Amino acid sequence: MASKLFAYLQLTRPANVVTAIADIWAGFAIAGGWSYLISNWEQGSGDFWQNLLWLSLSTIGLYAGGVAFNDIADADLDAIERPERPIPSGRASKNGAILMSSLLLLGGVLAAFQVNHLAGILAISVAFCALLYDYWGKHQTIFGPINMGLCRAGNLLLGVAVAPEVLSKIWPIGLLPLIYVAAITMVSRGEVHGKNRKALFGGFGMYTFIILVIFFTAKTQTSDFWQVIPFLALLSYMIFPPLIRAIRTQSPQFIGKSVKAAVISLIIVNASLAVAFEGWMIGLVILALLPLSLGLAKAFAVT
């Protein structure tokens, strides 16, 4: 029974789910949610705490359900390239995985509607983009990375949706996770066969662009913009060394390590965004998710 449960947990990629929670918490910071919670601590701010909880539960369902459906869609291919995965190995049944994934997506959408209708609509959009990617988008050379990026963009904006009036003004911020995740998706196409030097250089350029944009966003948002520098330095330390090794070797092994580092580093991207809008303390709150994600990554595959 325990081994069966572990197999289904593998389908949800728990380490990645933690990075999705970081999306929500960063979006919450962009909406000013954390500042509201702190300033109204004594008077009571139960509704905002509840909204943060609902949105965190929503992203858990949406992300876990979306990545599990990815394994369902790839079951035949994984039987050849990754026979150790739960479905081709027989440790998890395809029908059981479909039921679990459907319930997770439905739960994610329902949780978002507990906050407001805008959050619910965004959750439906994220679920649609995830399924579109699983069954069609990932096979498209150009649209595939954009499709995956749209999932993350929607997830970040889902956190901002706690304050619809802010979302209507700041929605272009969703382009940052779109570009970052599009870069990861582009780089990851060499995990099996390698030899994707152009994609690796493209990823390097896109990562650099993201770091620069976050820095200048912080500079426009606060006079204490320097607070974001240590977070961006940590992000650079996490993503660039493994990517440079992958560029030099073009080896599937090093490309896989680069992708894993970039996925986990989504937490640092989100922490940096939070610093840009609400300061270093909130950035540290989100960064505290990093050890949890790294720990789960030792037990569960990230890619």
pLDDT per residue as tens digits for the range 203-223: 999 999 999 999 999 999 988
Residues 16-55 pLDDT 10s: 999 999 999 999 999 988 777 666 654 555 677 899 999 9
Whole-number pLDDT of residue 11 = 96
Give the Cα separation of 56 and 42 in Å (integer): 23
Whole-number pLDDT of residue 269 = 97
Average pLDDT over residues 117-127: 98
Q: How many domains does the chain have?
A: 1
Average pLDDT over residues 117-133: 97
Q: Which domain holds residue 163?
A: 1-299
Whole-number pLDDT of residue 38 = 67
Q: Does 144 have pLDDT greater than 80?
A: yes
Residue 210 corresponds to which tokens in the numbers above?
């993201």
User: Based on C-alpha coordinates, what's the Rg of the chain?
Assistant: 19
What confidence tier does 4 reach under pLDDT thresholds 50, 70, 90? confident
Whole-number pLDDT of residue 253 = 86
The secondary structure of residue 85, as a DSSP letter, is: S
For helices 14-30 and 252-264, give the axis angle rounded to 10 degrees. 40
Ramachandran assignment for 228, one of left (phi > 0), alpha (psi -120 to 50 degrees), beta (any other): alpha
Q: Which residue has the higher pLDDT, 271 or 50?
A: 271
Cα 250 to Cα 202, 230, 236, 240, 302: the distances in Å are 14, 30, 20, 15, 20
Residues 212-265 pLDDT 10s: 999 999 999 988 999 999 999 999 999 999 999 999 988 888 888 999 999 999
Please give the mean pLDDT across all residues of the chain.
Answer: 91
Cβ count within 10 A of residue 98: 13
Whole-number pLDDT of residue 287 = 97
| CATH number where 48 lies | 1.10.357.140
Whole-number pLDDT of residue 39 = 66
Is the overall model pTM greater than 0.85, yes or no? yes
What confidence tier does 302 reach under pLDDT thresholds 50, 70, 90? confident
Average pLDDT over residues 143-159: 94
